[in-house]
């Protein structure tokens, strides 16, 4: 009886050991690739195969030309695949926000081909047009507030128009000498050249030049109150800054 029991135990251990020894380890499941990653892998394998074929037929000029065309097409497909689902970042956008010291605006210039200078000129022109439009609203607002603050008889509308014209002249002068805050250029996958340009205007310099221009202009025919005008300028600048923050830029 003891002998039979011993043989049974030995047989059980032998079978158990065989199963343990022959059992294959379970592989960790590989993470599933996204459609974009699978497309990029496919393109890379396609390139490796194409390079192998090209190496075998390098003596053919026609084949070399075809290889160049295939390479350009592959680069375009790869860029398109990599761009899928990616966040687009606009150059210089972070430098285009107003703050307590400056008015700022971003201009963009785009041209076909490699005409960098034309794209830059368009970007500068568009940036200045954007900030000019906002400063035009600023001028109209402060002159309106200034004349509405008069107690009793107000100056004529003609005087208000003359003041607006004077202040718009100051804006034009400052735009001609405006500082650059940021400038960047890129070429997209279609070969189109893009230029990004941020222009800035100092708020303190703008107030100073505007009040000096009005103080020196005797043709306005009014008793100009410099401190009252600066008060309205400060209030309007604060309103514009708050409005731009609420708009998210």
- pLDDT of amino acid 21: 43
Bridge partners of 197, per DSSP, are: 107, 183
| Residue 200 near residue 178, CB atoms below 8 Å | yes
pLDDT of residue 46: 80
Task: Report the chain (249 residues): mean pLDDT per 10 consecutive residues.
Answer: 42 43 49 77 80 65 60 65 63 90 93 82 94 94 89 75 92 93 85 90 95 84 84 94 78
Cα(210)–Cα(141) distance, integer angstroms: 14
Rg of the chain's alpha carbons, rounded to an integer?
Answer: 36
Tokens of 167: 């202040």
What is the per-residue pLDDT for 10?
A: 43
Task: Give the separation between CA 234 and CA 238, rounded to whole angstroms.
Answer: 6
Look-up: residue for tokens 């340009």?
197
Q: Quick one: pLDDT at residue 198?
A: 95
């Amino acid at each position: 009886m003891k002998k039979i029991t011993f043989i049974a135990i030995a047989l059980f251990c032998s079978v158990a050991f065989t199963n343990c020894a022959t059992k294959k380890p379970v592989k960790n499941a590989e993470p599933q690739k996204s459609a974009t990653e699978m497309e990029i892998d496919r393109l890379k394998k396609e390139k490796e195969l194409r390079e192998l074929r090209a190496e075998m037929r390098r003596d053919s000029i026609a084949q070399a030309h075809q290889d160049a065309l295939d390479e350009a097409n592959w680069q375009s497909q790869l860029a398109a695949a990599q761009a899928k689902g990616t966040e687009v970042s606009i150059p210089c956008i972070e430098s285009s926000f107003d703050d307590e010291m400056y008015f700022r605006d971003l201009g963009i210039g785009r041209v076909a081909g490699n005409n960098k200078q034309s794209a830059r000129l368009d970007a500068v022109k568009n940036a200045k047009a954007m900030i000019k439009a906002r400063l035009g609203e600023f001028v109209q607002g402060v002159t309106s507030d200034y004349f509405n603050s008069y107690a009793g008889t107000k100056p004529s509308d003609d005087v208000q128009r003359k003041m607006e014209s004077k202040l718009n002249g100051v804006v034009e002068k400052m735009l001609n000498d405006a500082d650059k805050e940021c400038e960047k250029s890129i070429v997209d996958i279609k070969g189109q050249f893009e230029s990004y340009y941020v222009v800035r205007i100092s708020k303190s310099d703008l107030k100073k030049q505007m009040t000096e221009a009005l103080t020196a202009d005797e043709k306005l025919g009014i008793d100009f109150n410099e401190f009252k005008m600066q008060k309205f300028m400060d209030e309007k600048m604060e309103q514009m800054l708050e409005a731009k923050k609420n708009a998210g830029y």
